[in-house]
Amino acid sequence: LSVSGNRCVRGARYAEEELLAPKRVVTATCRAFPADRCRVPVRTASPFPKDRVEDLIRVLYSLEVRLPVRRGDVVVPDALGTGIPVIATRTLD
């Protein structure tokens, strides 16, 4: 792989990763318990493998988070065995 035209090392690293193993920060909402119409916004703590995003979304949409939850609380410690945690992005009581 050859990268040219970049002005910093980060650009070359980003291009290489985007081609070989693309990743994205995943955002979603989970059901809240006991609140019946409330959803807890969550996101991955770091970029997640793009080819597994749909599987993660399916898991997160079926997950029920017990309230209260604080912003930054870990909701899923190891998303799909990747070692990447999923965290709450809002405090809900």
- Residue 9 is predicted with a pLDDT of 84
Express each pLDDT in 19-38 by its tens digit: 999 999 999 999 999 877 79
Mean pLDDT of 82-91: 97
Q: Which CATH architecture has domain 22-88?
A: Roll (3.10)
Neighbours of 84 (CB within 10 A): 21
Q: Exposure string (b/e) for 24-51, b if CB count within 10 Å is 16 or more?
A: eebebbbbbeeeeeeebebbbeeebbee
CA 24 vs CA 30, 41, 56, 58: distances in Å? 19, 17, 12, 16
Rounded mean pLDDT of 58-86?
97
The full set of domain ranges for the chain reads: 22-88
Residue 4, pLDDT above cutoff 90: no
| pTM score of the predicted model | 0.85
Q: What is the DSSP string of 19-34?
A: HHS-EE--EEEEEEES
Check pLDDT > 80 for residue 3: no
**3-class secondary structure, 87:** strand
